[in-house]
């Protein structure tokens, strides 16, 4: 079974703090993704990576950065957390394929920024 784990289920941070969200997958997937989920907006792609040290911006990258130093690990960084970054953050992974492939998701991190 594919397993995608996220470092925390719940986090509470203060405005201005630097926040690290970690994601690890155990299926040797090339692709890794970070989404945020907000009511009425669905899942929106923040960043994704298709290889170690490679990253590409998604639809809403502002205020975020990422790091992929190892194939199995993809980190999302909030350089200076703001209240509008309060959200559910979901990590996913998939194979890099010539055809369509499904993404496997972690359980999510509920981040609250006060």
Shortest distance, position 33 Cβ to another protein, whole Å? 8
Shortest distance, position 42 Cβ to another protein, whole Å? 4
Sequence-distant (6+) residues with CB within 8 A of 49 are 31, 32, 33, 55, 56, 66, 68, 74
Residues in contact with another protein by the rule CB under 8 A: 4, 9, 31, 33, 35, 40-45, 48, 50, 58, 90, 92, 94, 96-108, 110
Among 101, 108, 106, 96, which residue's Cα sits nearest to residue 29? 96
- Decide whether 41 or 114 has the Cβ nearer to another protein: 41
- Decide whether 52 or 96 has the Cβ nearer to another protein: 96
Shortest distance, position 7 Cβ to another protein, whole Å? 14
- Decide whether 78 or 91 has the Cβ nearer to another protein: 91
Shortest distance, position 108 Cβ to another protein, whole Å? 5
- Decide whether 12 or 16 has the Cβ nearer to another protein: 12
Sequence-distant (6+) residues with CB within 8 A of 82 are 15, 63, 113
């Amino acid at each position: 079974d594919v397993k995608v784990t996220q470092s925390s289920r719940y986090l509470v941070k203060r405005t201005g703090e630097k926040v690290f969200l970690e994601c690890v997958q155990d299926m040797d997937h090339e692709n890794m993704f970070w989404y945020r989920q907000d009511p009425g907006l669905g899942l929106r792609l923040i960043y994704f990576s298709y290889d170690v040290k490679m990253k590409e911006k998604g639809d809403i990258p502002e205020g975020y950065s990422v790091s992929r130093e190892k194939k199995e690990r993809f980190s999302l960084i909030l350089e200076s957390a703001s209240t509008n970054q309060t959200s559910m953050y979901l990590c996913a992974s998939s194979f890099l394929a010539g055809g369509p492939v499904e993404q496997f998701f972690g359980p999510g991190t509920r981040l609250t920024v006060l």
